[in-house]
A = this chain, B = another copy of it.
Amino acid sequence: MKIAVLGTGTVGRTIAGALAGLGHDVVIGTRDPEATLARTEPDAMGAAPFAQWLEEHGHVHLARYADVATDAELVINATSGAGSIAALSAAGAENLAGKILMDIANPLDFSHGMPPTLNPVNTDSLGEQIQRTFPDAKVVKTLNTMNASLMVDPGRAAGGDHSVFVSGNDSDAKREVTGLLKSLGHQDVIDLGDISTARGSEMLLPIWLRLWGALGTANFNFKIAR
């Protein structure tokens, strides 16, 4: 499948690399490719400069948001939550229309200090904001409840015996995304319902962040035991 991943951070790189490894035709989108490639310092999260990563992943290409979205059959939002609407707007509503838009971002708000809180929260979600802003895209919220390494290699924790959620208004889009998740090794994909259920999966972030601290590792995930 032709897949556009928006976002050059750890999450974008990890999912792009894994999907390319599965044989998909993957392009990463960014606001300004020249600026992204010119960086020589680690990013805010400590990840190596993007150009270095790209060199090690020759089968993945980098281009402007709109350029990658035009040709894509499926678009993945892996930008920071606070910048997602702007990034998707740059990709172009007309380039997202009719396509599956996998939203794996979280609306983390660092303005109250650490740990970050959520904005929006409770009566709204980033997934819903994106669906409202791009009504012709088929938004599916997923994968936002775990570390990037586990997104693409669930077996790294508890032998993969844990859960991943999908939320969205379009059943066919959720079925397609479920197939993609299973191809990455996810065993237990739970359909929560329409896109408003993204409130629930996004609101897992606060306890995820505290568990990261309490357990001293990010190599854990939620399992719905039943």
Contacts and interface: CB of A to CB of B under 8 A. Distances in A.
Contacts of A161: 225
User: Interface on chain A toward B: helix, strand, loop, or mixed SS?
Assistant: mixed
Interface string A184-197: 00000011110001
In the complex this chain forms, how many copies of it are found? 2
A197 B222 contact: no
A29 B139 CA distance: 48
A187 B201 CA distance: 25
Interface in A11-68: none
A211 B223 contact: no
Nearest to A163: B225
Contacts of A122: 117-118, 121-122, 206
Contacts of A221: 224-226
B209 A220 contact: no
A206 B210 contact: no
A113 to B, nearest CB: 10
Interface string A89-131: 0000000000000000000000010000110011100000000
Contacts of A118: 122
Interface of A: 112, 117-118, 121-123, 157-158, 161-162, 165, 190-193, 197, 199-201, 203-204, 206-211, 213-215, 217, 219-226
